[in-house]
Structure 1
């Protein structure tokens, strides 16, 4: 499973952070890995340099083989929390999606 990070100009894309969260994502989505071709993580700060509550945004888009991509967005006060929240949301979306597909096949 390929994990790709994209950051806007206000978020520093530290290699160590990307490596850590790539491993967390791979582990979190492990049971779906045969169905996922790529995971794209988009990070941004919606207030740029200004202080704001929950202004760090993480959007995770999962590309599935033979299906439309799935995407979730999470806002938090730190990049790390926004990523963790988006991972949790995506796990729920993937679980629901594949349970529905099982019921209809």
Structure 2
């Protein structure tokens, strides 16, 4: 997964900033590494040199293999909060996308609906029902 970091004129780009953003994105989205080709990160100071609340904006666009890009945006007071917030939003968006894809696969809908709970074997239930009816007929 390739991570590209872009910033505007008001946020000083540096190798340290880019490495920090990459590390944050990788640690949040590492479970999707095989499913994504690239993530673009755009960091911008909305108000330029003027201070103001929620003026740091981070937009992240993920490119899932074989699917349309997914884009999220998070605004915050600090660069850390903006990047972390966007990474979390992108994680949720990707979970939603891949969750929908898993549920569309044959046989996976039942597994997803149980969500980790142990389900009973349907054949065993049918066999139990058959034996009960058979026993009632012969009694």
Q: Same fold (TM over 0.5)?
A: yes
More displaced 10-residue stretch of structure 1: 23-32 or 86-95: 23-32
CA displacement at 1:14 relative to structure 2? 2.2
Give the alignment of 1:1-105 within 5 angstroms.
1-105=1-105
Alpha-carbon separation, structure 2, partners of 1:56 and 1:21: 14
Q: Show the counterpart of 2:133.
A: none
Q: How well do the aligned residues superpose, as a CA RMSD in angstroms?
A: 0.9
More displaced 10-residue stretch of structure 1: 43-52 or 19-28: 19-28
Q: Please give the per-residue CA displacement for 1:12-41, whole angstroms capped at 9, x wherever unaligned.
A: 112112102202211211111111000000
Q: Greater relative contact order: 1 or 2 (C-alpha under 8 angstroms, separation 6 or more)? A: 1
Q: Which of these two proteins has the greater Rg computed from alpha carbons?
A: 2
Give the ranges of 4+ consecutive aligned residues of structure 1 lying more than 2 Å apart after TM superposition.
Answer: none
Alpha-carbon separation, structure 2, partners of 1:100 and 1:48: 39
More displaced 10-residue stretch of structure 1: 32-41 or 13-22: 13-22
Report which of the two has the higher share of helix: 2
TM-score of the superposed pair, with normalisation by structure 1: 0.95
Alpha-carbon separation, structure 2, partners of 1:14 and 1:79: 14
Structure 1, unpaired ranges of 5+:
none
TM-score of the superposed pair, with normalisation by structure 2: 0.73
Report which of the two has the higher share of strand: 1
